[in-house]
Amino acid sequence: MKYKLAILKLAAYYDKVLTDQQIQIYSDQLAEYLTEDEANASVKLYIDQPLNDFFPRPVSKLIALIKPPVTDKDESQNLLDLLIQAIRKHGQYWSDGVTLSDGNLWFFGKNQYFKTWTLAAQDEIGTLGIEVIKRNGSWLNFCMSYFDQPEGVFKKQAKDSIETTVRLARNNQLGHVPQIDGGSGAKVLSMIKMKSLNEPESK
């Protein structure tokens, strides 16, 4: 009920007439992302901003006042921080595992041991973190890149790669392999191939 009251308050302020269906839609969207107190706070914040001289559309404008959207840059920075924390915590030989008293090889995650490094890594750095490691060859390679240069240099280089990984993941293209289209690119490849076939062998 408080969600509807928040919407009605907003509509009254901007002299906007809403149908029952519109009020319900706005209320449902607010309820999905905000608590009742947050919804009321978002309405107040929206009204208090001088540049907001019309009824907000879409409702995401209200939600963003309380919970700003997470950008690819935010995701990348968070993932980079997690990866560096993992390096400092586990060291470069994390993926080698440790043999415990039961005689089996185990891999430590956040707070417990796992039977495979992938499970431990998923627990510590998430599936996207594992993807970053794969793109760098291995956990050891990634760690050596960190240890072999100043941290500031490492962060800059790693962040570029991580941002690409995050963007690909957001667009469901992590497994995408770039291809040259059937147009000019294919013709260029064909010409290169024909040229190589016609060139005399070097003696």
What pLDDT shows up at residue 203? 46
Q: What are phi and psi of 21, to 5 degrees?
A: -65, -40
- Could you tell me which residue, 64 or 100, shows the higher pLDDT? 100
The CA-CA-CA angle for residues 21, 2, 45, to 5°, reads: 95
User: Is the CB of residue 107 less than 8 Å from the CB of residue 119?
Assistant: yes
The predicted-structure confidence for 102-111, as pLDDT tens digits, reads as follows: 999 999 999 9
Q: How far is Cα of residue 27 from the mean position of the Cα atoms in its chain?
A: 28
Average pLDDT over residues 66-79: 87
Phi-psi region of 103 (alpha: psi -120 to 50; beta: other; left: phi over 0): left
Average pLDDT over residues 77-92: 95
Average pLDDT over residues 135-150: 94
Helix, coil or strand: residue 12: helix
The predicted-structure confidence for 10-39, as pLDDT tens digits, reads as follows: 888 888 888 899 889 888 888 888 888 888
